[in-house]
């Protein structure tokens, strides 16, 4: 009987398998009918719908901001229900790739929070809908087009709408730590003098990955050489300097570098609980946010290294098979509105820098941004601007993340 | 359907609500895993030969490290759970009736999901956790770094603790189910004949509990070996559990690496099946009984 | 058992409480004291921030609770439907290959569920079953039905054939026998199996994440990101809800079962 039943399995499964497509061509869709509509028509179409926004879920305060402020405003202003879905960017790109290969025309994701190598991979695989950001009135109105031409060296071409700006800072507790390093070389010495008190999130976590890029810039002579795009020979010559630097500090890291925090939230926890002395974040007011929440003591301050502090823009994008592209466009447009950017900027909510061009706003709105108190833990724009350096082109980032595993973790 | 008699048809009909999903979803699922490991029915057309993925996996020393590590974590936590669970169940069974209700607290970790149990371990055992604070107050340590490194020692102790905390009540539950049917007079007789408490436990009680011990061991061992939830919260950077390995290959790499993820899954499945068969065979031979599961 | 003194019983209870109840007690404290840090053995100050978090995010929390609750109950129902008839066959009939088949049918609870779920995933996407509640329920049921199956087989065995024969002799049809005689007698087994299946489904993270693709909300999915958050009171509060909800459910089930039996004069 078992044998007959085995035959039955094949019979039952066969129909599912026959329907598999041979292969799906990776072509980006153009001439979307939706993009010929006016934005008012799109808003009208989006009324009463549900928008599913897939985003990194590791930051409780960001989740709370989306679930409360954004969700209630979307409902109130546009009669749109917002559902936030926590998922790592790499994972949802993978999900979309699978859906594309399966020939799934209607997916489940409406909007993505994305940038960098994930955007590049998504574009190259034809996973994104667009170009749409030029159709968003608030992007046209409030955003400097030059600030959103490239994302990690990859042309945006209107397939992403700007959402926020970030710049990398370190955090320390003045009650526990008197002096902090000011350069990468001093940081190395500081780590050696304070064994077990420093670590960084394991790449490909973006904060940890950004820390590695800072070291890469600093020990190989600055960022300018990489801006021209991917150069394998240059990478091959320069990368060993980075691995040497990182391997030199490994024995002095938290847990002797045997293990690394899984993500930046985990590092925040170690820092908050005093297991490590330095924290790091992609958001300059992050420390202030944590102080307001009660996770960090009020004595925490932030600092940057003179070698540079990477800044970048993060975006939202719409998948090729988003079931509610109209709703996603309305949400992307709302996120770049003055109100949303202002609410997001407040350190008690999140402290993510606005992606708006403040010069384009009317004076009253500009004033609202200028009066926000970023708190004593946050560095001033005058302290942040001089050290700001751009992100590296995405292929470097991918190579660094991949090779970090072989050259540092598995060493 | 003339080739089967009426009785068989009725039997098959009655069994079909279970057999159909079993064959389609379970057997079919495993079948598809095996196919995809060979590059058939994968999202991307597979370029190489059928067994390429296995070649890649088996030539990677980190796979064997992960395999051994998963095996160790599963073995220690399952054995620990069964031993602790049996002992505690035996003691709870002996509690006088009025205290027996208080013993129901053992069910708390049964209700908690695995990820919450992992969280509890995190709260208790991290170097800035409850136990470190306690050790500090007792004067055992002066700084948190002196507290033993439990979670990140590279030995998977955190996962072992979490699995044991979750597994002990489970083993207790299965053992208690047998104990309630146990005849107290056997123990009383033995005690009257002068047997010590330990002797009673090992020669009279234990053999009766054997079926529960074996099933709980197999279930707990294989669960810890292949589950994802607890390692996702507590795992270290390396060596990782196999399930984390599979997750990374499946979700964090491009689709071309799918066959490798599926190959690991196939190996895990074969290991589980071989383990079940071998374990029941050995137990049968040792105890000369018919069936344990 | 006179050779066990009262002190040793108390020791047993203390061990049980330390191992299993203390964690829950600590969770209550963590949820009320987000700023509880090393080396304080008792929190320096308590705050209701964790509770406020519940209030502020009640929309998301309630909807994911409801989703988890819903697909867990559906999973219980699915396993019940799958196992009822086969369990009666297994308890009452002998046929060739029965021990082997029973062994095979129990394997889904033993082998790692990833091994078949990930194989199914791609086909489920193609069939548009992935990212739906039915996909989640099917996968969870496939992995948890053996608990229901074993409970039902045991239930049918305890019941024996006598009630059935008796009802038949009194002229009851097979539908009446099932609904009025067998099912009520089987309820303890259904509830025992259902409890386990419910807990397995309710506390699963990975399979729901895989098959639900984020589209099917779940309480574990809501909790997971909070576990590594530096504000531990949030995760603690949600974990406590996790603990309370099934307990409430089980108590309600037990009470209603008792009432049903009393009504039918079966107690």
Report the neighbours of C using a cutoff of 3 or more CB pairs below 8 angstroms. A, B
How crowded is residue A287: how many other Cβ atoms within 10 Å of its Cβ? Answer: 30
The model's pLDDT over B67-109, given as tens digits with 9 standing for 90+, comes to 999 999 999 999 999 999 999 999 998 888 888 888 888 988 9
Interface residue B123 vs chain C (CB under 8 A): yes
| Contact call for residues A45 and A121 (beta carbons, < 8 A) | no
Q: Collapse the DSSP code of A55 into the 3-class scheme (helix H, G, I; strand E, B; otherwise coil) and give the result.
A: strand
- Which residues on adjacent β-strands are paired with residue A340? none
Of A16, A84, A262, the CB nearest to C126: A16
Q: If contacts are CB pairs under 8 Å, which of residues 153-212 in chain B contact chain C?
A: 165, 168-169, 184, 187-188, 191, 197
Nearest alpha-carbon partner for A328 in A157, A125, A74: A74
Cα within 13 Å of Cα(A190), Cβ side: 19
Task: Answer yes or no: do B43 and A255 touch at CB < 8 A.
Answer: no
At residue A28, the pLDDT reads 41
What mean pLDDT comes out for the span A47-69?
93
- The pLDDT confidence band at residue C249, using thresholds 50, 70 and 90, is confident
Which architecture does CATH list for A167-312+385-409? Answer: 3-Layer(aba) Sandwich (3.40)
pLDDT at A31 over 80: no
Of B41, B115, B122, the CB nearest to C205: B115
Cβ distance C26 to B120 less than 8 Å, yes or no, reads yes
Q: What is the rounded CA–CA span in Å between residue A8 and residue A29?
A: 41
Task: Please report the sign of the dihedral spanned by the C-alpha atoms of residue C160, residue C162, residue C163, residue C164.
Answer: positive
Mention every residue, 6+ apart, whose C-beta is less than 8 A from residue C8: B91
C237 Cβ under 8 Å from any chain B Cβ: no
- Provide, as residue numbers in chain C, all residues whose Cβ is less than 8 Å from the Cβ of B228: 114, 205-206
C178 touching chain B per CB within 8 A: no
Mean of the pLDDT values across residues A31-43?
Answer: 87
Distance of CA A291 to the CA centre of its chain: 22
* Strand boundaries in A248-324, DSSP class E: 278-281, 300-303, 309-317
Tell me which chain B residues have a C-beta less than 8 angstroms from the C-beta of A23.
Answer: 44-45
Contact criterion met (CB < 8 Å) for B113 and C115: no
* pLDDT for res C233: 87
Distance CA C245, CA C224 (A): 18
Task: Say how many C-beta atoms besides its own lie within 10 A of residue C245's C-beta.
Answer: 16
The DSSP code for B180 is: T
What local confidence, expressed as pLDDT, does residue B293 receive?
40
Please state the rounded mean pLDDT for residues C236-251.
88
- Tell me if chain C has a CB within 8 Å of the CB of B92: yes
B56 lies within 8 A of chain C by CB = no
Q: Is B42 strand, coil or helix?
A: coil
The token pair at B113 is 């999901």
Compute the average pLDDT of residues A215-239: 95
d(CA A140, CA A39): 12
Neighbours of C191 (CB within 10 A): 19
Residues of B in contact with A12 (CB under 8 A): 20, 23-24, 28
Q: Do B152 and A5 touch (CB under 8 A)?
A: no
Residue A170: pLDDT band by 50, 70, 90 thresholds?
very high
d(Cα C189, Cα C184) in Å, to the nearest integer? 10
Q: What is the mean pLDDT of residues A236-245?
A: 96
Taking CB atoms and an 8 Å limit, are A102 and B237 in contact across chains?
A: no
Question: In this structure, what token pair is assigned to residue B286?
Answer: 């040792």
Q: What radius of gyration do chain A's Cα atoms show?
A: 23
Measure Cα distances from A12 to A104, B20, B22, B24, B265 in Å: 22, 9, 12, 7, 23
A300-303 vs A169-173, strand pairing mode: antiparallel
Nearest to B152 among A101, A258, A410 (CB): A258
- Residues from chain B that touch C82, judged by Cβ atoms under 8 A, are 17-18, 21
Token digits of residue C266 = 């079966």
B180-230 pLDDT, tens per residue? Answer: 888 888 888 888 888 888 888 888 888 889 989 999 999 999 999 999 999
When mean pLDDT is compared across A30-34, A201-205, B73-77, B227-231, the lowest value belongs to A30-34
Long-range Cβ contacts of A289-293 (<8 Å, 24+ apart): A289/A61, A289/A347, A289/A348, A289/A349, A289/A350, A289/A351, A290/C230, A291/A375, A291/A377, A292/A347, A292/A348, A292/A375, A293/A61, A293/C34, A293/C49, A293/C231
| C45 reaches A (C-beta below 8 A) | no
- Does B136 contact C at CB distance below 8 Å? yes
Q: Could A94 and B43 be called an inter-chain contact, meaning their C-beta atoms sit closer than 8 Å?
A: no
Token pair 């207790």 is found at B172
CB-count exposure of residue A224 (10 Å: 0-12, 13-18, 19+): exposed
Evaluate if residue C221 carries a pLDDT over 70. yes
C23-54 pLDDT, tens digit per residue, is 999 999 999 888 788 888 888 888 888 888 88
A108:C213 CB<8 A: yes
Percent of chain B residues past pLDDT 70, beyond the cut: 96
Q: Quick check: A297 and A291 in contact, CB under 8 A?
A: yes
| B152–A409 CB contact, under 8 Å | no
Instruction: List where CATH 3.40.190.10 sits in chain A.
Output: 37-164+314-374, 167-312+385-409
The mean-pLDDT minimum among A217-231, B18-32, B109-123, C163-177 falls in C163-177
Q: Which chains touch B (3 or more CB pairs under 8 A)?
A: A, C
CATH of region C54-263, choose from 3.30.420.40, 3.90.1150.10, 1.10.3720.10, 3.30.1660.40: 1.10.3720.10
Q: Using CA atoms, how far apart are residues C88 and B14, in angstroms rounded to an integer?
A: 9
Closest CA to C183 of C264, C129, C96: C264
Structural domains in chain B? 62-287 (1.10.3720.10)
Q: Which residues of B touch A102 (CB under 8 A)?
A: 43
How, if at all, do strands A388-389 and A309-317 pair? parallel
Tokens of A69: 């402020």
Other beta carbons less than 10 A from residue A47's beta carbon: 12
Q: Mind telling me how many Å the CA of B148 is from chain A's nearest CA? A: 11
Asked if C41 and B134 touch (Cβ cutoff 8 Å), the reply is: yes
- Record: contact C123-A17, CB cut-off 8 A: yes
Could you say which of C114, C223, C228 has the minimum Cβ distance to residue B246?
C114
Share of chain B above pLDDT 90, in %: 50
Q: What residues of A are in contact with residue C97 (Cβ under 8 Å)?
A: 1-2
Contact C190, C107 (CB under 8 A): no
Residues 124-153 of C with CB under 8 A from B: 138-139, 141-142, 145, 149
pLDDT in tens, A241-282: 999 999 999 999 998 998 899 889 999 999 998 899 999 999
Q: Which residues of C touch B187 (CB under 8 A)?
A: 1
Q: Are A56 and A89 in contact (CB under 8 A)?
A: yes
SS3 at position C68: helix
pLDDT of residue B47: 76
Given this model, what pLDDT does residue A22 score? 36
Tell me whether B19 touches chain C (CB under 8 Å): yes
**How big is the CA angle at A250 (ends A249 and A256), to the nearest 5 degrees?**
125
DSSP category for residue C132: S
Residue A16 pLDDT > 70: no
**If you measure CA to CA, which chain B residue comes closest to A17?**
B41
- Parts of chain C belonging to CATH 1.10.3720.10: 54-263
CA distance C82 to chain B (A): 5
Of C39, C139, C235, the CB nearest to B119: C235
Exposed (0-12), middle (13-18) or buried (19+): which is B28, by Cβ within 10 Å? buried
Provide mean pLDDT across the span A306-315: 94
Q: Which of residues 224-253 of B touch C (CB under 8 A)?
A: 225-229, 232-233, 243, 246-247, 250
Chain B nearest CA to C10, separation (Å): 9
> Cβ contacts (< 8 Å) between B255 and chain A: which residues?
94, 97-98, 101
Burial of C44 (0-12, 13-18, 19+ CB in 10 A): exposed
Tokens coding C114: 């990833």
Q: How confident is the model at residue A124 (pLDDT cuts 50, 70, 90)?
A: very high
Option in C116, C206, C243 nearest B229 (CB):
C206
3-state helix, strand, coil in chain C (%, to 5): 80, 0, 20
- Model pLDDT, residue A7: 44
Nearest to A68 among C57, C97, C128 (CB): C57
Evaluate if residue C4 carries a pLDDT over 70. Answer: no
Mean pLDDT of chain A: 90
Q: Is C217 within 8 Å of A2 when comparing Cβ atoms?
A: no
Given a contact cutoff of 8 angstroms between Cβ atoms, the answer to whether A101 and A321 are in contact is no
- Residue C46, phi-psi category: left (phi > 0), alpha (psi -120 to 50), beta (remainder): beta
CA nearest neighbour of A13 among C123, B213, C265:
C123
Contact of C102 with C83, CB cutoff 8 Å: no
CB contact under 8 Å between A269 and C126, yes or no, is no
Q: How far does the CA of residue B160 sit from the closest CA of chain A (Å)?
A: 17
CATH class of A37-164+314-374: alpha beta
Q: How far apart are CA B29 and CA B27, in angstroms?
A: 5
Phi-psi map region of C45: left, alpha, beta (phi>0 left; psi -120 to 50 alpha): beta
| pLDDT for residue B3 is more than 80 | no
Q: What is the DSSP string of C114-131?
A: HHHHHHHHHHHHHTT-TT
CA distance C200 to chain A (A): 22
Chain C residues lying within 8 Å of A176, measured CB to CB: none
**Which chain A residue shows the shortest CA-CA distance from B258?**
A98
Phi, psi of A312 (to 5 degrees): -155, 170
Length in residues, chain B: 293
Rounded distance between C-alpha atoms, residue B73 and residue A90, angstroms: 29
Beta strands in A128-167 (DSSP E): 150-151, 154-155, 161-167
- CA B250: distance to chain centroid? 23
Q: How far is B45 from chain A (nearest CA, A)?
A: 7
Q: Rounded to the nearest 5°, which phi and psi values hold at A112?
A: -120, 145
pLDDT at A42 exceeding the cut of 90: yes
Cα separation, A332 vs A322, whole angstroms: 13
Quick one: tokens of A291?
């102080």
Structure tokens at C104: 């095979």
The span from the CA of A373 to the CA of A351, in Å, is: 10
Total residue length of chain C? 267
Better-predicted residue by pLDDT, C168 or B1: C168
Q: Which residues of B touch C204 (CB under 8 A)?
A: 113, 229
Place of tokens 């999915």: C221
Place of tokens 């949802």: A92
CA pseudo-torsion sign C227, C229, C232, C234:
negative
Going by C-alpha positions, the residue among C146, C66, C43 that lies closest to residue C103 is C146
Contact check, Cβ <8 Å, B123/C232? yes
Q: DSSP secondary-structure letter at B95?
A: S
Q: Is the pLDDT of residue C89 over 60?
A: yes
Distance of CA C208 to the CA centre of its chain: 14
- ipTM value: 0.90
Q: Taking 60 as the threshold, does the pLDDT of residue A14 lie above it?
A: no
Q: Which two tokens stand for residue B3?
A: 């080739």
Question: What is the CB-side half-sphere exposure of residue C109 using CA atoms within 13 A?
Answer: 23
Confidence (pLDDT) at B217: 95
Structure confidence at residue A253 (pLDDT): 95
A64 touches chain C (CB under 8 A): yes
What does the pLDDT look like over C135-165, one tens digit per residue? 999 999 999 999 999 999 999 998 888 888 8
CB atoms within 10 A of CB A250: 16
């Amino acid at each position: 009987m078992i044998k007959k039943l085995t035959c039955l399995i094949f019979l039952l499964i066969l129909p599912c398998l026959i329907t598999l497509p041979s292969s799906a061509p990776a072509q980006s869709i153009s001439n979307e009918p939706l993009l010929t509509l006016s934005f008012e028509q799109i808003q009208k179409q989006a009324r009463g719908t549900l928008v599913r926004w897939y985003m990194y879920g590791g930051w409780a305060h960001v989740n709370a901001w989306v679930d409360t402020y954004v969700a209630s405003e979307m409902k109130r202003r546009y009669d749109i229900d917002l559902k936030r879905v926590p998922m790592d960017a790499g994972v949802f790109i993978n999900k979309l790739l699978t859906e594309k290969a399966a020939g799934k025309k209607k997916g489940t994701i409406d909007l993505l929070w994305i940038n960098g190598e994930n955007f590049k991979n998504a574009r190259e695989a034809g996973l994104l809908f667009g170009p749409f950001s030029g159709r968003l009135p608030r992007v046209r109105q409030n955003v400097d087009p030059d600030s959103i031409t490239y994302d990690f060296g990859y042309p945006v071409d209107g397939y992403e709408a700007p959402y926020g700006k970030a710049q990398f800072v370190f955090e320390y507790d003045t009650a526990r730590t008197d002096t902090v390093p000011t350069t990468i070389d001093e940081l190395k010495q500081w780590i050696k003098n304070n064994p077990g008190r420093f670590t960084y999130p394991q790449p490909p976590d973006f904060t940890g990955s950004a820390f590695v890029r800072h070291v890469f810039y600093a020990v190989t002579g600055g960022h300018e050489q990489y801006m021209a795009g991917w150069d394998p020979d240059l990478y091959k010559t320069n990368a060993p300097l980075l691995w040497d630097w990182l391997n030199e500090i490994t024995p002095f890291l938290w847990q002797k570098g045997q293990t690394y925090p899984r993500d930046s939230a985990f590092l925040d926890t170690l820092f908050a609980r005093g297991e490590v002395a330095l924290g790091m974040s992609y958001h300059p007011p992050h420390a202030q946010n944590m102080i307001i929440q009660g996770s960090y003591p009020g004595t925490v301050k932030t600092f940057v290294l003179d070698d540079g502090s990477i800044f970048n823009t993060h975006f939202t994008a719409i998948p090729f098979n988003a079931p509610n592209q109209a709703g996603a466009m309305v949400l992307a447009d709302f996120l770049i509105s003055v109100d949303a950017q202002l609410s997001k900027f407040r350190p008690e909510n999140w402290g993510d820098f606005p992606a708006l061009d403040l010069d384009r706003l009317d004076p009253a709105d500009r004033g609202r941004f200028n009066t926000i108190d970023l708190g004593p833990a946050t560095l001033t724009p005058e302290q942040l601007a001089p050290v700001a350096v751009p992100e590296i082109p995405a292929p470097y980032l991918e190579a660094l993340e991949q090779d970090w595993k072989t050259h540092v973790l598995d060493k | 359907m003339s080739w089967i008699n009426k009785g068989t048809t009725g039997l098959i009909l009655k069994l079909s609500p279970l057999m159909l999903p079993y064959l389609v979803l379970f057997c079919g699922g495993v079948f598809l895993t095996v196919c995809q490991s060979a590059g058939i029915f994968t999202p991307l057309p597979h370029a190489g030969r059928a067994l390429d993925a296995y070649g890649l996996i088996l030539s990677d020393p980190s796979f064997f490290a992960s395999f051994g590590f998963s095996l160790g974590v599963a073995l220690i936590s399952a054995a620990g759970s069964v031993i602790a669970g049996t002992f505690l169940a035996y003691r709870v069974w002996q509690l006088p009736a009025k205290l027996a209700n208080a013993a129901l607290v053992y069910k708390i970790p049964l209700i908690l999901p695995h990820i919450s149990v992992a969280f509890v371990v995190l709260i208790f055992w991290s170097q800035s956790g409850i136990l470190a604070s306690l050790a500090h107050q007792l004067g055992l340590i002066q700084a948190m770094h002196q507290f033993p490194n439990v979670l990140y020692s590279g030995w998977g102790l955190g996962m072992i603790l979490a699995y044991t905390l979750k597994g002990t009540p489970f083993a207790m539950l299965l053992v208690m189910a047998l104990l309630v049917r146990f005849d107290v007079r056997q123990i009383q007789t033995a005690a009257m004949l002068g047997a010590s408490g330990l002797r009673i436990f090992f020669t009279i009680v234990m053999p009766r509990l054997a079926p529960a011990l074996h099933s709980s061991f197999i279930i707990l061992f294989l669960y810890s070996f292949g589950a994802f939830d607890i390692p996702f919260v507590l795992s270290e950077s390396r060596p990782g559990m196999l399930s984390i390995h599979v997750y990374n290959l499946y979700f964090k790499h491009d689709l071309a690496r799918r066959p490798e993820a599926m190959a690991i899954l196939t190996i895990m499945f074969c290991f589980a099946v071989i383990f079940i068969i071998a374990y029941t065979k050995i137990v049968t031979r040792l105890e000369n009984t018919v069936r344990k599961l | 058992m006179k050779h066990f003194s009262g002190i040793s019983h108390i020791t047993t209870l203390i061990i049980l409480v330390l191992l299993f109840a203390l964690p829950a007690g600590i969770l209550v404290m963590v949820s009320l004291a987000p700023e509880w840090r090393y080396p304080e053995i008792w929190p320096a100050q308590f705050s209701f921030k964790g509770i406020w978090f519940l209030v502020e995010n009640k929309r998301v929390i309630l909807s994911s609770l409801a989703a988890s609750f819903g697909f867990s109950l559906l999973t219980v129902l699915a396993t019940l439907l799958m196992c009822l008839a086969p369990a009666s066959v297994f308890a009452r009939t002998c046929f060739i290959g029965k021990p082997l088949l029973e062994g095979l049918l129990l394997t889904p609870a033993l082998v790692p569920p990833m091994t078949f779920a990930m194989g199914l995933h791609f086909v489920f996407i193609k069939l548009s079953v992935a990212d739906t509640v039915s996909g989640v329920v099917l996968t969870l049921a496939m992995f948890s039905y053996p608990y229901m199956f074993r409970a039902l087989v045991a239930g049918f065995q305890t019941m024996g054939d006598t009630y059935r024969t008796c009802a038949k002799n009194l002229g009851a049809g097979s539908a009446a026998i099932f609904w009025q005689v067998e099912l009520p007698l089987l309820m303890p087994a259904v509830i025992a199996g259902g409890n386990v299946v419910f807990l397995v489904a309710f506390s699963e993270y990975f399979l729901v994440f895989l098959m639900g693709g984020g589209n099917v909300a779940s309480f574990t999915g809501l909790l997971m990101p909070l576990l590594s958050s530096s504000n531990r009171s949030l995760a603690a509060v949600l974990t406590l809800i996790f603990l309370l909800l099934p307990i409430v459910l089980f108590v309600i089930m037990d009470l209603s079962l008792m009432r049903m039996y009393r009504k039918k004069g079966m107690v």
